[in-house]
Amino acid sequence: MNFDQKAPSYFWDTCKFSSKNGQQSWDFELPEDLKGIIQSESDWDKPEGVAFLEAFDRAFIFDKKVNPNSADRVLRYSRNKQVGEPKISPSDDSLSLKERARISLLNGFSFYETLQEPDGNWAGDYGGPLFLIPGLVIASYITETPFEKPMQVLIKRNLWNHQNEDGGWGLHIEGHSTMFGTVMQYVTLRILGEDLSNPQMKRAQDWILRHGGAIKVPQWGKFYLSVLNVYDWKGNDALLPEMWKFPKWVPFHPGKYWCHNRMIFLPMTYCFGKKVKAELTPLVQELRKELYTADYDSINWKKARREACEIDIYHPVNKWYYRLSNIINGYERIHSNRFRKKALKYVEDYIDFEDTYTRYINIGPVNQAINSICVWHNHGRDSEQFKSHVKRWKDYLWIAEDGAKMSGYNGSQLWDTGFAGQALIEADMETDFPEMAEKIYRFIDSTQIERNAKDYSKYWGDVTLGCWPFSTIDHGWAITDCTSEGMKTAILYNSREHIQKKNHVHIERLKPAVDWLLKMQNKDGGWASYEKQRAPKWIEVLNPAMLFENIMTEATYTECSSATIQGLKEFTKEHDYRQEDIKRAIDRGAKFLESKQDPDGSWYGCWGVCYTYGTWFGIEGLLTAGHKHYENGTPSPEIQKACDFLLSKQRADGSWGESFQSCVEHRYVEHEDGQIVNTAWALLALMKAKHPNKAVIEKGIEFILSRQESTGDFPQEGVSGIFNGNCAITYTSYRNVFPLWAIGRYYKMN
């Protein structure tokens, strides 16, 4: 069999995607040539299997130098094959801008419709961070649950594709090499069968040793390496399970941490409390030799706790953390076994609680991996709990033209579908695409959370019924802005009676969402992400991670606050439930947004890149809350300043373009090139403010039109998402939805 002659599409065709009420899964289907030859995993060692996998690997070679952001081509190619090319309307330059905008919308939406899943959502690549897949590969190694061979090949290929020229890996695909990124990928590749005979591995090892060896990996890396048994547990500050048993008033009780940090700290305390570690296999022994500059047995582990590679440090560890951890480490030496057992029992129950409520998806990719290890250790490899975990690994694995990666969440389904739905309505095109509109509504309807967790107050949870998640109904964690976007979209579609609906997201279903949003408002008038702020801001001094900022406690965010103001306002247009409370909440929310505006008129974006994202939310929030726009007089000073800021950043070609470095450095950093997504956010904001300078807006629209491809798709440019100040994350849908939304707004206003 000669696979060398086959085009990449032959291999892409073996990767089949499906979505069941948002639950995403990539499966491999053997090509005809291999059916009958490969019948079990061991058959991949046959010559035909080896030949196939080698060629399969080559079909996913990707040149990071052109653009480290892959364009989700595998999924788009397969949809295109199934449903055919979208209908393309002809456009030519002699038409007016408005006419060309309409054609662009028709082409853009008919392309995007080809990507909509039968269940109504849009699936897409949600990769970007490089530190996620190592957790899952380590889990698969310890629990002896290997991935299918083709998946292993694609995971490795993805890492090779994203290796930097200096031999290392970054925290994310656009990042510079770090010890954390490099050590984690090195270990992953070794587990997946690579060794130092490969020159690329050698370059990676050189990077690690040149920078002081794995002793210098930051805290999360020390944890993972300890579980893998290639770093001593003594080299970690104690992750005490007993902390869960602190009295509730203690300000740094882990129950008060930001939920992502809390749900990661939780299984970490299990692993530390039980000193979970892999067996001393030959691979583990070799890694102990390969990762360090000194002999493993001679390492001073106590000293190693404080070691970290300078290049990795984004958020330096504060002296208060060291003071507190000295006390905690002291306790570890003298701890009572009885109390440890009791604390561990609570941790085990809490892990089971999170697993059961999220139907084994877990809040995010990090605790999916660590919980899997804990459940395997606690309940055993044959337990239903462990098997349920393994089934969910697929929810997090995504295949694109650069190989397989672990997504930053189990997808961004609700978030993307909500925005697509709003863009379609604003362009007034729901009658042009009735099936798409109907399916959008169906997905929003079927993703509203239908349950509360049992015993949630025992485990630091809250009600969730009636709220919306970021991804799927099974995931089930409620988020302020997702609830608001879900509610807003549902209400917009409710008011369009011509859209066919099976169910109706009626007022009784919306009341609990409104109640929850009102309850979630913080003292400063703003909204946080998942929960109300529970701990004082200063506990950020106890952040040991080095790689991320703002992980210790919930903070109030411009984006979440603006979205909540908009969701609540939309609700008041249709219903009079709790009108007074909502009005008061919106007024307080507006004050919060005003207080967050920077002196130059911009807002910092915490979850998107960056000031154009934040300023879009700032402007929409304030206008919704009653600030004046430009029409018929002078706008409010805040709106004027914000628009002036945006105008000052428009580039000569009509675009806006920001690098993710804006988020990292907290100052506006230009991208080398104009970006359609930034341009769309800036234009949406200016048009909402009814800015009188038409030339500025038209130039921006021209720029977006000039980038649209002949299929109706838009190109994948720089990365557009971010979290915790320092890690970039891919939002594949943004390149389609936001340009279309901006063009739609332009089209309707003119």
| Angle between helix 149-161 and helix 47-58 axes, rounded to 10 deg | 30
Token pair belonging to 449: 């959370």
Asked if residue 369 binds ligand LAN (CB under 6 A), the reply is no
- Site residues for ligand LAN, 407-436, by CB under 6 A, read 408-409, 415
Q: How far is the CB of 412 from ligand LAN (least distance, A)?
A: 7
Q: How far is the CB of 298 from ligand LAN (least distance, A)?
A: 33
Q: How far is the CB of 729 from ligand LAN (least distance, A)?
A: 6
Asked if residue 136 binds ligand LAN (CB under 6 A), the reply is no
Out of 74, 183, 264, 283, which residue is the one contacting ligand LAN (CB under 6 A)? 264
Out of 366, 453, 555, 610, which residue is the one contacting ligand LAN (CB under 6 A)? 366
Q: Which residues on neighbouring strands pair with residue 93, listed in sequence order?
A: none
Token pair belonging to 88: 């393309």
Out of 102, 190, 253, 260, which residue is the one contacting ligand LAN (CB under 6 A)? 260
Report how far residue 734's alpha carbon sits from residue 428's, in angstroms, rounded to the nearest whole number: 20
- Closer residue to ligand LAN (CB): 230 or 552: 552
Asked if residue 266 binds ligand LAN (CB under 6 A), the reply is no
Question: Contact, 656 vs 650, CB < 8 A?
Answer: yes
Q: How far is the CB of 467 from ligand LAN (least distance, A)?
A: 12
Asked if residue 607 binds ligand LAN (CB under 6 A), the reply is yes
Out of 551, 555, 622, 705, which residue is the one contacting ligand LAN (CB under 6 A)? 551
Binding mask 502-531 for ligand LAN (x = CB under 6 A): ---------------------------x--
3-state SS class at 670: strand
Residue type at position 623? L
Judged by phi (left if over 0) then psi (alpha if -120 to 50, else beta), residue 602 lies in: beta
Judged by phi (left if over 0) then psi (alpha if -120 to 50, else beta), residue 359 lies in: left
DSSP 563-630: HHHHHHHHHHHH--TTHHHHHHHHHHHHHHHHHH--TTS----SSBSSHHHHHHHHHHHHHHTT---S
- Closer residue to ligand LAN (CB): 207 or 321: 321
Active site residues: 481
Question: Contact, 233 vs 299, CB < 8 A?
Answer: no
Q: Which residues on neighbouring strands pair with residue 400, listed in sequence order?
A: 403
What is the number of other CB atoms lying within 10 angstroms of the CB of residue 45? Answer: 11
- Site residues for ligand LAN, 379-398, by CB under 6 A, read none
Asked if residue 481 binds ligand LAN (CB under 6 A), the reply is yes
Sign of CA dihedral 145, 150, 151, 155: positive
- Closer residue to ligand LAN (CB): 110 or 724: 724
Q: How far is the CB of 559 from ligand LAN (least distance, A)?
A: 5
- Closer residue to ligand LAN (CB): 433 or 548: 548
Residue type at position 80? N
Q: What angle do CA 19, 443, 465 make, to 5 degrees?
A: 110
- Closer residue to ligand LAN (CB): 445 or 559: 559
Over the range 229-242, which residues count as b (16 or more CB within 10 Å of their CB) and which as e?
Answer: bbbbbbbbbbbbbb
Nearest CA-CA partner of 234 in 297, 289, 311: 297
- Closer residue to ligand LAN (CB): 366 or 423: 366
User: Among the candidate windows 168-176, 186-194, 475-483, 597-605, which touches ligand LAN by CB under 6 A?
Assistant: 475-483
Q: How far is the CB of 486 from ligand LAN (least distance, A)?
A: 11
DSSP 137-198: HHHHHHTT-PPPHHHHHHHHHHHHHT--TTS-B-SBTTSPPBHHHHHHHHHHHHHTT--TTS
Report how far residue 329's alpha carbon sits from residue 448's, in angstroms, rounded to the nearest whole number: 44
Q: How far is the CB of 86 from ligand LAN (least distance, A)?
A: 28
Question: What is each CA distance from 44 to 49, 50, 152, 284, 523, in whole angstroms?
Answer: 4, 6, 12, 25, 60
User: Among the candidate windows 478-486, 536-544, 622-630, 662-670, which touches ligand LAN by CB under 6 A?
Assistant: 478-486
Out of 257, 604, 723, 738, which residue is the one contacting ligand LAN (CB under 6 A)? 723
Asked if residue 544 binds ligand LAN (CB under 6 A), the reply is no
What φ, ψ does residue 584 adopt, rounded to 5°?
Answer: -65, -45
Out of 444, 729, 737, 742, which residue is the one contacting ligand LAN (CB under 6 A)? 729
Asked if residue 487 binds ligand LAN (CB under 6 A), the reply is no
Q: How far is the CB of 341 from ligand LAN (least distance, A)?
A: 28
User: Among the candidate windows 183-191, 418-426, 702-710, 722-730, which touches ligand LAN by CB under 6 A?
Assistant: 722-730
Binding mask 150-169 for ligand LAN (x = CB under 6 A): --------------------
Q: How many residues bind ligand LAN (CB under 6 A)?
A: 21
Asked if residue 364 binds ligand LAN (CB under 6 A), the reply is yes
- Closer residue to ligand LAN (CB): 668 or 723: 723
- Closer residue to ligand LAN (CB): 154 or 547: 547
- Closer residue to ligand LAN (CB): 114 or 236: 236
Asked if residue 620 binds ligand LAN (CB under 6 A), the reply is no
Run of H or E including 728: strand 727-729
Please report where in the chains the tokens 């210790």 appear, as a residue. Answer: 552
Sign of CA dihedral 348, 353, 358, 364: negative
Q: How far is the CB of 443 from ligand LAN (least distance, A)?
A: 17
Nearest CA-CA partner of 515 in 574, 581, 561: 581
Asked if residue 470 binds ligand LAN (CB under 6 A), the reply is yes
Out of 559, 570, 620, 638, which residue is the one contacting ligand LAN (CB under 6 A)? 559
- Closer residue to ligand LAN (CB): 205 or 566: 566
- Closer residue to ligand LAN (CB): 3 or 396: 396
Per residue, the 3-state secondary structure of 202-251, as one string, reads HHHHHHHHHCCCHHHCCHHHHHHHHHCCCCCHHHCCCCCHHHHHCCCCCC
Q: Please give the residue ranges that form the binding site for ligand LAN (CB under 6 A).
A: 260-261, 264, 364, 366, 408-409, 415, 470, 479, 481-482, 529, 548, 551, 559-560, 607, 723-724, 729
